[in-house]
Structure 1
Amino acid sequence: MELDFERCYRAVDSRDPRFDGWFVTAVTSTRIYCRPSCPAVTPKRQNVRFLPSAAAAQREGFRACLRCRPDAAPGSPEWDNRADVVARAMRLIADGVVDRAGVPGLASRLGYTERHLHRMLHAELGAGPLALARAQRAQTARILIETTDLGLAEIAFAAGFRSVRQFNETIRDVYGRPPSALRSSAVASGAPGTIMLRLPYRAPLHADGLFEYLAARAIPGVELADDGRYQRTLRLPHGPGSASLTPRDGYVQATLRLTDVRDLAPAVARCRRLLDLDADPHAVDAALATDPALAETVEKEPGVRLPRAVEGFELAVRAVVGQQVSVAAARTVLGKLVRTCAPTAGELLFPDAATVAEAPDEAFAMPATRRRTVRALAAAVASGDLVLDNGTDRAEATEKLLELPGVGPWTAGYVALRALGDPDVFLPTDLGVRRGAAALGLPDEPAALAGYATRWRPWRSYALIRLWRNA
């Protein structure tokens, strides 16, 4: 990744938090790397190097600053916005694929050889998949050390390390001190398996709009929204879990309840994805504000995000169920589907694809044609013919969605918007979008509106959310 020295140095000199996550500052005199907004004295030019990732800094022998915690900065917005192989790899690494399936599993998932994948990642990020996964394991371990009373050996394996020795060496390399020195005297006092942590974001964040959207669509038993807080259950690789998310100034407070602490990294990644916390609101808002029709709403509500999803299949089912029905009606239908498919009473998980594909007719409170669509969708995901996770090829997934009976451009676009995180989706036939456009004095006929929306590229998804809010 090309980093302009002068631009980066100006960002560091002004301690600009907008650049946190875009690059790290490696100080050669101290062998420490920081985020751009670090409050420490700005290092001299001759002592500074700018690197594209924490993993690259660690690979070259730099230790993480314990003051600004560069490993806890918001992620680069590129990995959510881009659809290329490097971005898909980064999303999968964040979800813990390397820890669970190794580099061969990551390469197979992306359809490339390990050697070629390593070459692509190293060329752009200065580190290969193992180094990137190692950096994430170190961050996961630090969170567990500082927020739980788990034994250090337990933390080592929970964070994904293969041995306690590897764990000790990595923590010393990354933080310049042994794990025992990182342990805080104030440990989390919650129940076993409960972890409290902060999820940072780039300000501004229009939290009210984001949480209102999720609250209006909350499925009873799976999600709960009250008093500005959003809670939901999570299907994680090693067992069920749940998350409680509350927006604060500069971060979202997260309380995670995990069956297995090895699921910390995937749980964090899914919560960040759900709330679009790695977005760059300055870039988005600056582009949309150039259109006089959107300038006022951008000024009034800066930092509008995309309400996304923790699981692609769940969102795709929501999209199909939501065809031509109200939000309240869709919640009722989805609630019945969840209750019918649930193995036990109490806290519910959204059913997986195989369960939905085999569910009885009474689970689907919808017309027969839509029921067939949901079953076809579930069968395609269960068989692996359709992949809707955060590492999938967006164009390929959209094409496969459109091949399913009963799935048209609106449904496929809605899935791309929320499940796949595509920042440049537009739904000109959507009634809410058309009403929002009319309210702003824009054309509301689909073809004309689609033509007008081309000026909002590559952020049409964010413009769409603003139109919905103005409907």
Structure 2
Amino acid sequence: MRMHEFALSADGPFDFGASLRFVEDWPATSALPSDGRALRFGYCAEADWLPIGVRVTAAPGGVAVATTRATGREIRGEVARILSLDVDGGGFARLGEGDPVLGDLRRRSPGLRPVCFWSPWESACWAVIVQRSSMLVASRIKQRIAERYGAEVTIDGQVYAVFPPPVTLLEAGGLGLPAQKEEWLRGLARAALDGVLTTEHLRALPPEEALAELRALPGVGPFSAGLILIRGAGAPDAFPGDEPRLFAILREAYGLPEDAPKAAYRKLAEAWRPYRSWASFLFRAATYGGGGQEVDRKRAGEWTTP
């Protein structure tokens, strides 16, 4: 199959190898086949909801990308968002100068940027599927849905099942989930088709407004809203301010008291502007091994959303 190639450049420090290691360690994507050199995945492009296969490899100053069909500006922008290459990261390195804790974390994972879900739509579905479940179990369920209702793309001889687009999931039944979750997924599908659950819409709003709008969607609470905005739409400067797991990591890192109010975490994050999402990602990534630390597999496998 002929692949269509293009390049993406990075403004500021970027280490594709670090991104690839994170994908390999993160339970939600650890099942993706990997040879340690390329990131390969299939998804329904937000630009037209049609399936596309993507291969990403390291290149001087950025990455080289090959896709299974021709791409335009919109899809190239989607791939850039997935790797956080749509943001100038030049200023991120300077944040560590005034924050020794963040500075130390950055030195141990130089060039690591957030790796996002393939689309806000897919991140929203994940947020519903993983509720009251482990990430490892949720990953298997999501894969089964992709195999049953999604298309297939072939990249370098490997077949990848693509998670179905909103219109398909809206009409699908028997997803293997509780009835309430299936109803929530159909509600999210309608929101995606209405243009609400899209990168363009969510990134056009101030983070606080985007989070409020997401919390109004079916099955989406404070944690899920932050996940969709930050790891789905790739918003670089958002801090949900209501994530117990992140709070626990920050308490340990900064020596905050157990009863620290939410305002203390928001105040801490103010120093990370305009990269609050990126800084938070580094703290989370360290627990999966992507930040250069030993991964706690048991904790990662058993974690469930609040």
Equivalence map 1:56-205=2 (5 Å): 191-192=1-2, 194-205=3-14
Counterpart residue type for residue 210 of structure 1: S
* Unmatched segments (≥5 aa) in structure 1: 1-190
1:457 and 1:265 mapped to 2: Cα distance? 28
TM-score (norm. length: structure 2): 0.77
Q: From the superposition, tell whether residues 351 and 400 of structure 1 become closer, same or farther in structure 2 (CA, over 3 Å).
A: same
Q: Write the letter of the residue equivalent to 1:410.
A: F
Which structure has more relative contact order (CA 8 Å, sep 6+)? It is 2
CA distance in 2 between counterparts of 1:385 and 1:399 reads: 16
Larger radius of gyration: 1
Per-residue CA distance 1:414-466 (angstroms, 9 max, x = gap): 11112222222224443542343244234264613233222222221111012
- The residue type equivalent to 1:201 in the other structure is A
Amino acid at match of 2:13: P
Could you say if the C-alpha distance between residues 431 and 219 of structure 1 is closer, same or farther in structure 2, counting changes exceeding 3 Å?
Answer: same
Q: Tell me which residue corresponds to 1:251.
A: 62
Q: Which amino acid aligns with 1:381?
A: A
1:274-327, Cα deviation, whole Å (9 max, x unpaired): 101133333012124311221211223233312124322112112222334332
> 2:278 aligned with 1:462, yes or no?
yes
- From 240, 245, 254, the equivalent of 2:51 is 240
Matches within 5 A, 1:367-378: 367-378=178-189
1:287-306 matches, cutoff 5 A: 287-306=95-114
- Candidates 37, 44, 59, aligned match of 1:228: 37
2:254 aligned with 1:441, yes or no? yes
The 1-side partners of 2:90 and 2:195 are apart by: 38
Distance 1:391 1:330 in 2: 27
**Which amino acid letter does the alignment assign opposite residue 322 of structure 1?**
V
Q: Would you say how many aligned residue pairs link Structure 1 and Structure 2?
A: 272
1:289–1:295 contact (8 Å) kept in structure 2 = yes
Write the letter of the residue equivalent to 2:192: V
Which amino acid in the other structure matches residue 107 of structure 2?
E
Q: SS where residue 254 of structure 1 aligns?
A: strand
Distance 1:195 1:293, change over 3 A: same
Unpaired stretches in structure 2, ≥5 consecutive residues:
154-158, 288-306
Q: 1:386 aligns with which of 187, 190, 196?
A: 196
Query: Cα distance 1:275–1:314, how it changes in 2: closer, same or farther (>3 A)?
Result: same
Asked if 1 retains the 8 angstrom alpha-carbon contact of 2:14 and 2:111, the reply is yes
Q: CA deviation at 1:231?
A: 0.7
Give the helix-richer structure, 1 or 2.
1
Aligned to 1:214: 23
Amino acid paired to 1:389 = T
Which residue of structure 2 aligns with residue 363 of structure 1?
A: 175
Secondary structure at 2:44 match in 1:
strand
Structure 1 residue identity aligned to 2:280? L
- Distance between the aligned counterparts of 1:238 and 1:470, measured in 2? 33
Corresponding letter in the other structure for 1:313: W
Paired residue secondary structure (2:41): strand
Q: Deviations over 1:124-166 (max 9, x none)?
A: xxxxxxxxxxxxxxxxxxxxxxxxxxxxxxxxxxxxxxxxxxx
Shift of 1:411: 0.8
Structure 2 contact 9–62 (Cα < 8 Å) conserved: yes
Change over 3 Å in CA distance of 1:214–1:281 after alignment to 2: same
From 116, 126, 130, the counterpart of 1:318: 126
1:378 CA displacement: 1.5
1:340 shift after superposition: 2.3
Identity of aligned residues (%): 22
In the alignment, residue 298 of structure 1 is paired with which amino acid?
R
Contact 1:205 1:304 in 2 (8 A): yes
Aligned to 1:403: 216
The corresponding residue for 1:451 is 267
TM-score by length of 1: 0.52
User: Which amino acid is 1:319 matched to?
Assistant: A
In the alignment, the residues of structure 2 paired with residue 238 and residue 371 of structure 1 have an alpha-carbon distance, to the nearest angstrom, of 20
- Pair 1:349 & 2:146 matched: no
Instruction: Tell me the SS of whatever aligns to 1:232.
Output: strand
- Say which of 215, 230, 236 aligns to 1:417: 230
**Paired residues of 1:439 and 1:470 also in contact (CA < 8 A):** no
Cα separation, 2, equivalents of 1:385 and 1:266: 15
Deviations for 1:359-399, whole angstroms, at most 9, x for unmatched residues? 21x3133x4333332222112223x1624133543355533
CA–CA distance in 1 between the matches of 2:84 and 2:73? 16
| Aligned Cα root-mean-square deviation (Å) | 2.8
Q: Which moved more, 1:433-442 or 1:279-288?
A: 433-442
Mean Cα deviation higher: 343-352 or 433-442: 343-352
Output the CA distance in 1 between the equivalents of 2:191 and 2:150. Answer: 21
SS at match of 1:225: coil
